[in-house]
Amino acid sequence: AAPAPGEQVLDIGCGAGAGSLALAALVGAKGGVLGVDVSEPLVARARELGEDRPNARFQVADASRALLPVAQFDLLFSRFGVMFFDDPAQAFAHMRRALKPNGRLAFVCWRGAGENDWVRLPLKAIVPIVGLPAAPPPEAPGPFSFGDRARVERILGEAGFVDVALTPVDHRIVFGEGETREAAIADAVDLAFQVGPLTRALADQAKAVVEEAKIAVREAFAAKAQDRSVVIDGAGWIVTARNGDA
């Protein structure tokens, strides 16, 4: 993203504001960051954390529809926040209008589900118990909807961006932590049932089946456990582009 002092940044899907506040520190007092997110509790937390950062503002809004100032921002930034739009080409076209001429876009998103352990490991573990869950339509909104490079290039091109580039990034992820190895594994299992597809895959199963699945998922994460953490493999794209309105 390379934010520079004095720049204006729009943080899309800012969550609790960690990225926005890091950007605000980099653009300095003469710059500014607007973080937008659809979650009121997360934006409230971001405002709390940013009380001493006057150049960071936060707004509860859907960036694909929000009333944004025209040609205001030097940079559109997002960390795992752009894969959930119903009409992504329209959403990016809308957000691009908030960019200055020749402004830039930089975001990170997941690659395919099969390349990311936080989904791959638990789903593989439950297949012998409940079978393979049905996959969502490939272009349905969701964490892996931008896994296909060609689709991302097409969406951004239709939205009016140029110089689109996707760089694969592979990174180790701490998925569970605890005071002991066993506590870290338990933390990873709890998290997998909160943020992954497991709850949906097991929604109609009997309690005994769910408990059996939890044991299998625990064994899968135990294979990745260290002394106080469970460390898994993550795979994403870093996507950059430029506003076509030069």
Residue 246 clears pLDDT 80, i.e. is over it: no
Which helix (H) or strand (E) segment holds residue 230: the answer is strand 229-243
Residue 2, domain member (yes or no): no
Q: Is the pLDDT of residue 172 over 90?
A: yes
Provide the 3-class DSSP secondary structure of residue 1: coil
Q: How many domains does the chain have?
A: 2
Q: Quote the mean pLDDT of the chain.
A: 95
CATH number where 90 lies: 3.40.50.150
Given this model, what pLDDT does residue 135 score? 75
| Rounded mean pLDDT, 168-196 | 95
Q: What is the pLDDT of residues 67-122, one digit of tens each?
A: 999 999 999 999 999 999 999 999 999 999 999 999 999 999 999 999 999 999 99
Looking at residue 167, its amino acid is T
Quick check: 173 pLDDT over 80?
yes
Find the mean pLDDT for residues 171-184: 96
pLDDT for 139: 81
pLDDT of residue 195: 84
* 184, 94: one domain: no
Distance CA 231, CA 221 (A): 9
pLDDT in tens, 9-31: 999 999 999 999 999 999 999 99
**For residue 241, which of 143, 166, 182 has the smallest C-alpha distance?**
166
CA 101 to CA 74: how far, in whole Å? 8
Cα separation of 52 and 67, whole Å?
26
Do residues 75 and 181 share a domain?
no
Indicate whether 148 and 182 sit together in one domain: no
Q: Tokens for 70?
A: 């025209």
Q: Which residue has the higher pLDDT, 153 or 204?
A: 153
pTM of the predicted model, to two decimals?
A: 0.90
Q: Do both 62 and 163 map to the same domain?
A: yes
24: burial class by Cβ within 10 Å (0-12, 13-18, 19+)? buried
134 and 160 inside one domain:
no
Does 24 map to a domain?
A: yes
The number of beta carbons lying within 10 Å of the beta carbon of residue 26 is: 16
pLDDT for position 133:
78
- The angle at the Cα of 190, spanning 108 to 84, to the nearest 5 degrees, equals 30
Amino acid identity of residue 234, one-letter, is G
* Cβ-based neighbours of 150, under 8 Å, separated by 6 or more: none
14, 80 contact by CB (below 8 A)? no
Q: What is the pLDDT of residues 125-162, one digit of tens each?
A: 999 999 887 777 878 899 999 999 999 999 999 999 99
120 and 149 belong to one structural domain: no
Q: What is the dihedral of CA 179, 211, 232, 78, to 10 degrees?
A: -100
**pLDDT of res. 200:** 86
The answer to the question of residue 59 being in a domain is yes
pLDDT given for residue 203 in this prediction:
87
Q: Give domain status of residue 3, yes or no.
A: no
Where in the sequence is the domain holding 120, given as residue range(s)?
Answer: 113-140+172-233
Contact (CB, 8 A) for 46 and 71: no
